[in-house]
Structure formats: C-alpha cells, structure tokens
Homo-oligomer: A and B are copies of this chain.
Amino acid sequence: MNIGIIGLGLIGGSLGLDLLAQKQNHYVWGISRHQDTCKQAVLMGAVEAASQDPDMIPYLKQTDLVVICTPIPAILPAIASISPLLSPQAIITDVGSVKSAIVASASQKWARFVGAHPMAGTAFQGITAAERNLFQQRPCVITPFSSPVDTQAVNLEPNSKSNTIDREAVEIVRSLWQSVGAIVHECSPEAHDQAVAWISHLPVMVSASLIAACQQEEDVAIAELAQKLASSGFRDTSRVGGGNPELGRLMAEYNRPALLKSLRAYQNSLQVLIDQVESEQWQGIENVLKITQSDRRSFVDGKG
C-alpha cells in the first residue's frame, strides 16, 4: 500500500517504523511542519519520503491511506489541506484521543474518513522518541461514523447501521493497526469518548485536584512536612495530574460533555465517602472500600 503519515511525532514516527519494517512492500511517506523532522524521519527509516510540502511527495496521488497523527486541533486543517491532492478512493484516518468532535466534521470533509485512536505512548514526544513495537498489545479503538442523525446516539453495534458505514474503509484501517500488533476495538465515537472520559480524562482531573488541594494547607510547617512525607501513594495518585497541561486542556476542550458526565458521577461517589466520614459510618466506609478493591481488578488485572 501507499501510506501517508501527516505529523511525524512519537505516534506517526513509530507507526512508520513498524510499517517499513514489515515485508509488505508498503511505500510510506510523511509530512511534518519542520524540515528537521522530515530529515530525521527519513534517516531513521520511519518514512521513505518526507516534506513540509505535499507537492514535493512522490506518488502522492496514488496514496491508498493517509494517517493523520497531528495534535487534535490540527486534524481537521490537515484533512482540508491534503484532500484536494488525493484520489477520491483514498482513505483518511486519524489517531486523535477524542472522536465525536473530530469524526462528524472529518466525515463531511472526506467521505472515506474513519476515526481511530491507538492508545499507546511513552513519557517522551517527537520523532526522536519514535520506537518499534509501540502499539504491540495496546488497544486501538476504531469509531465508524454512520450519518449526522446518529451523532447523539451511543451504539456499540455498528453493523446495525452498516448501510451508511464504509465497511471496506473500516476494515483497511483495522488491518493497518492489527498489522502493527494493536488490539482493535470498534464502537461509536460517543461510546469511545465516554469510555476514555472514565479511564483517562477523569483521572487527570481527579489527580490534579489532589495536588491543588494539598497546596491549600495554610500552615507552612505542615505543608512542608506533607511534602517530606509524601511517598508512593501520593506519587501514583498524583502522577497524571502532574502531566502535560496542554494535553489535559485539550481532552477537556474536545471531550467536554463526556468529561462533565464523569466529573459529576465522581462528585457523587466522593460525597458518599465524605458523608460517611462525617457521620462516622466506619463499617460503611470499609464496605465501599471492599467494593472498590474488588472492582479495580476488572480494570487492571492481566495487564502489564
């Protein structure tokens, strides 16, 4: 296949490395805003051709699949700029961590658009952080989009709307991610967004609020003591709240409805515990913690 990657960072670069390492005779090209990144991507074998300017890419018109690996705000502009140069048969997909806000607009811009979200990463960014096998055994969610009337629906059975879904395009995107080792799930954009709100975006807000709360201690000596005594429990609970502020802002901005639903549910769960502490229902607290101890296993067991 002729595969284009727009945005040569950790995700785009790692995808290119894996694709070119396959014995599939793929032709992989890339576009980046930075000439240095283009050079580096070619040099390390992530792409065979790269440029800031799509017109400089050989065989662009013969592209089968374009994977947009830019940050979320650049996805729709990237589609707008590349689509006039592609054959109408080309498929465009993306790797954005939110889907509803992208997929409806992208599908209007390009009929053969298929939203996707490979959930992989490291603590590092950029083409120099790209690595082989980043997606091995990691989830990748594909979010086929049927028609504008369904944007409010949460439906995990896309077959029921198969008359409006480009199945061929979906299967090609599925094959792409399976070929680099990802475990592919398929659901509606809205189901994806609510699921990641629970397990990815809500934890950021919960964790950041913990750090912010601790900074409210007015007694300087106690505040300093707390910093000295903080250990693994605080370190783990606060980790994602101390992460990239721009990413945190983007997930809130582009996944607002699902995040708000999760935040309100969280407020309710927290209030239950606060009420129990206030009214000294010690056995009740122990019961809640028994359930959370047990329920957590559904989320983390059997994962590395």
Answer whether A237 and B239 are a contact pair too, CB < 8 Å, given A219-B194, A273-B209: yes
From B236, B260, B288, A239 is in contact (CB under 8 Å) with B236
Contact in complex: A262, B213 (CB < 8 Å): yes
Contact in complex: A303, B219 (CB < 8 Å): no
**Which residue of chain B has its CB nearest to the CB of A273?**
B205
From B204, B233, B288, B293, A233 is in contact (CB under 8 Å) with B204
Interface string of A273-296 (1 = CB under 8 A from B): 110111010110111111111011
| Interface membership of A245, Cβ < 8 A | yes
Q: Which residues of B contact A110 (CB under 8 A)?
A: none
Which among A194, A260, A292 has the highest number of chain B CB atoms within 10 Å?
A: A292
**Contact-size category for A:** 35 or more
From B139, B222, B245, B303, A289 is in contact (CB under 8 Å) with B245
Answer whether A285 and B236 are a contact pair too, CB < 8 Å, given A187-B225, A299-B214: no
Contact in complex: B246, A222 (CB < 8 Å): no
Q: Which residues of B contact A191 (CB under 8 A)?
A: 219, 221-222, 225
Contact in complex: B235, A299 (CB < 8 Å): yes
Q: Which residues of B contact A204 (CB under 8 A)?
A: 233, 289
Cα of A156 to Cα of B222 in the assembled complex, Å: 8
Answer whether A212 and B245 are a contact pair too, CB < 8 Å, given A139-B228, A263-B274, A267-B274: no
Q: Which residues of B contact A25 (CB under 8 A)?
A: none
Q: Which residues of B contact A272 (CB under 8 A)?
A: 209, 212
Cα of A234 to Cα of B206 in the assembled complex, Å: 11
**Which residue of chain B has its CB nearest to the CB of A205?**
B273
| Interface membership of A226, Cβ < 8 A | yes
Cα of A303 to Cα of B290 in the assembled complex, Å: 30
Contact in complex: A268, B222 (CB < 8 Å): no
Please give 18 more A-B residue pairs, beta carbons under 8 A apart, in addition to A202-B214, A203-B210, A260-B278: A156-B222, A192-B225, A194-B219, A198-B217, A199-B227, A199-B230, A203-B234, A210-B266, A212-B288, A212-B291, A214-B295, A226-B299, A236-B236, A236-B239, A246-B286, A252-B285, A256-B277, A260-B277
Residues on A lying within 8 angstroms of B by beta carbon are 119, 138-139, 141, 154, 156, 185, 187, 191-192, 194-196, 198-200, 202-217, 219, 221-222, 225-231, 233-246, 248-249, 252-253, 256, 259-260, 262-270, 272-274, 276-278, 280, 282-283, 285-293, 295-300, 303
Jot down 5 A-B pairs with beta carbons below 8 A, ordered by A.
Answer: A195-B222, A206-B207, A230-B299, A260-B277, A264-B274
